[in-house]
């Protein structure tokens, strides 16, 4: 038995996987609160994640108890997936000094711009790291904290990412792996090491070797679960904790995206698109983050910050649920009769518009309907991801299939819109929780249950009923609408 945990923005998911039956036998979920302000602040307290971990895992174990021959003492390993980029700061007593600023926090846009300037501009910054620092990465959060809380800054003893924090709580070992470290903004993604020159620009008062976690390759055992936590859940004392990784890296493993030619698209609170490469790509556009993967390769990725979170804005406005939102969107035609939305409620990372606001465009007295608003939101969010896919194609990353994950992938209409806008086959997975599954698979790999490609083949299954192929007439219609979307974007610049 293996456990996968995914600590996301909205909540923590836990799954129990039977490695003999090769299936998930228990699932649990617990929601997180969110601190948010109109200035771009998005924060959570790290202890909320611990509470959610306990609730979600207890729920998953209770469900697994209904499976024949299950016992908590049969659990052999745990793998943690966590939302990327979040900043967790601990003091000398391992207590958080401040809330964790999250990946979607754009309050630090000015600090990010100032950091890039101190590093000599975008080109020199990119050369030092192999990646462009973006608002939302950990580096600008650390700069922000140093500026606003100088007294607390000097008390920092450990700097962590969300999944590192959960790993540290589970094992007491202070480590991280290359994939999640790639999104900090002070990690060299080509050499796979912390960059002391960049870190000294961010935190000159701190000793990098003391406050940053030890770097580990993806198949490494981080450690064993602490005895008190093992006793709490009824585990034996030899439960292995793998290195884990960022949610996108674990989602890649959980969708079988460990070889070239496959792309994973996540439609959750945010949207991501990523594809595996066995070596770092050269001359990538700066908006593509050339992250390391959590299987010792690379995972070029683009992230957009407004996906299902944008749909939720319309649902709140109209006081409707997801089912009604999808029903209304289905009633509107392709193009939403000219209504278009720039869905930048949280600013945007790709394209780089951290301080931009959302806009509804093209309204007139005949097209201002609930149905058009719902479909326009769905289409416009898709266009933002298409913008990222175009960057991939320009960089020579060919994709024959897009594997969809996240809550938005459950919408049949949205799947078809994506296939038509991207002009590519799309398919979902039989297992919904790809990032948590990726964590469990990585734990099996770490614990010697087999090679990663064999484990992915055994545990990752496509859903044949979910396949959508592009309809050529729709592809042509959307191409013109997408060009209009690009024109709106250019007008912002």
Cα distance between residue 446 and residue 459, in whole Å: 15
Bridging pattern class, strands 245-246 and 77-82:
parallel
Instruction: Tell me if residue 228 falls in helix, strand or coil.
Output: helix
Has 461 been labeled as part of a binding site? no
Cite the beta strand spans of 258-314 per DSSP E.
262-267, 271-275, 289-292, 298-304
Catalytic residue among 105, 164, 188, 247: 247
- Token reading at 64: 């697994």
**Which of 180, 212, 189 minimizes the C-alpha distance to 199?**
212
Cα distance between residue 381 and residue 343, in whole Å: 7
Has 44 been labeled as part of a binding site? no
Rounded (10°) CA dihedral 119, 125, 127, 131: 150
* Angle between helices 472-492 and 412-422 in degrees, nearest 10: 80
- Residues 259/275, Cβ–Cβ less than 8 Å: no
Cα distance between residue 331 and residue 264, in whole Å: 28
- Residues 235/225, Cβ–Cβ less than 8 Å: yes
- Residues 79/7, Cβ–Cβ less than 8 Å: no
- Token reading at 466: 């979910």
- 18 is annotated as an active-site residue: no
Q: How many CA atoms, within 13 angstroms, populate the side-chain half-sphere of residue 361? A: 19
- DSSP bridge partners of 402: 263, 426
- Residues 186/195, Cβ–Cβ less than 8 Å: yes
Q: How many residues does the chain have?
A: 493
Q: In the sheet where 100-101 sits, what is the strand order? A: 35-36, 42-44, 100-101
Binding residues for substrate: 84-85
Binding residues: 84-85
Active-site residue list: 247
């Amino acid at each position: 038995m293996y456990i996968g945990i995914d600590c996301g923005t909205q909540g923590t998911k836990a799954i129990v996987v039977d490695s003999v039956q090769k299936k998930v036998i228990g699932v649990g979920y617990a929601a997180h609160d969110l601190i948010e302000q109109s200035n771009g602040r998005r924060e959570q307290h790290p202890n909320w994640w611990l509470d959610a971990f306990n609730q979600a895992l207890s729920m998953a174990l209770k469900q697994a108890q209904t499976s024949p021959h299950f016992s908590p003492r049969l659990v052999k390993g745990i793998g943690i997936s966590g939302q990327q980029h979040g900043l967790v700061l601990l003091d000398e007593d391992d207590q958080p000094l401040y809330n964790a600023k999250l990946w979607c926090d754009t309050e630090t846009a000015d600090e990010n711009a100032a950091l890039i300037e101190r590093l000599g501009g975008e080109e020199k910054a990119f050369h030092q790291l192999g990646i462009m620092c973006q608002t939302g990465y950990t580096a600008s959060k650390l700069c922000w904290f140093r500026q606003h809380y100088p007294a607390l800054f000097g008390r920092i003893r450990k700097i962590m990412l969300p999944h590192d924090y959960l790993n540290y709580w589970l094992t007491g070992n202070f480590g991280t792996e290359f994939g999640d470290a790639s999104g900090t903004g002070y990690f060299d993604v080509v050499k796979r090491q912390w960059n002391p020159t960049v870190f000294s620009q961010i935190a000159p008062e701190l000793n990098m070797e003391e406050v940053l976690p030890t770097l580990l390759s993806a198949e490494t055992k981080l450690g064993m679960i602490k005895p008190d936590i093992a006793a709490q859940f009824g585990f034996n004392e030899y439960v292995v904790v793998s290195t884990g990784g960022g949610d996108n890296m674990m989602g890649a493993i959980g969708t079988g995206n460990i070889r070239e030619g496959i792309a994973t698209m996540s439609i959750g609170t945010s949207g991501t698109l990523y594809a595996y490469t066995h070596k770092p790509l050269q001359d990538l556009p700066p908006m593509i983050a050339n992250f390391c993967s959590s299987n010792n390769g690379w995972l070029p990725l683009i992230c957009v910050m407004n996906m299902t979170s944008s749909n939720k804005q319309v649902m709140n406005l109209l006081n409707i649920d997801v089912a009604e939102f999808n029903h209304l969107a289905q009633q509107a035609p392709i193009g939403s009769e000219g209504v278009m939305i720039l869905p930048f409620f949280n600013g945007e990372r790709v394209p780089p518009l951290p301080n931009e606001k959302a806009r509804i465009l093209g309204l007139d007295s005949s097209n201002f309907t609930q149905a058009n608003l719902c479909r326009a939101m769905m289409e416009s969010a898709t266009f933002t991801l298409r913008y990222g896919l175009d960057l991939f194609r320009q960089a020579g990353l060919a994709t024959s299939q897009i594997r969809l994950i996240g809550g938005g992938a459950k919408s049949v209409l949205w799947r078809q819109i994506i296939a038509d806008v991207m002009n590519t086959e799309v398919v979902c997975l039989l297992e919904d929780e790809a990032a948590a599954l990726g964590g469990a698979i990585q734990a099996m790999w770490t614990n010697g249950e087999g090679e990663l490609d064999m484990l992915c083949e055994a545990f990752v299954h496509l859903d044949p009923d979910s396949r959508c192929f592009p309809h050529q007439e729709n592809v042509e219609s959307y191409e013109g609408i997408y060009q209009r979307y690009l024109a709106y974007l250019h007008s912002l610049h």
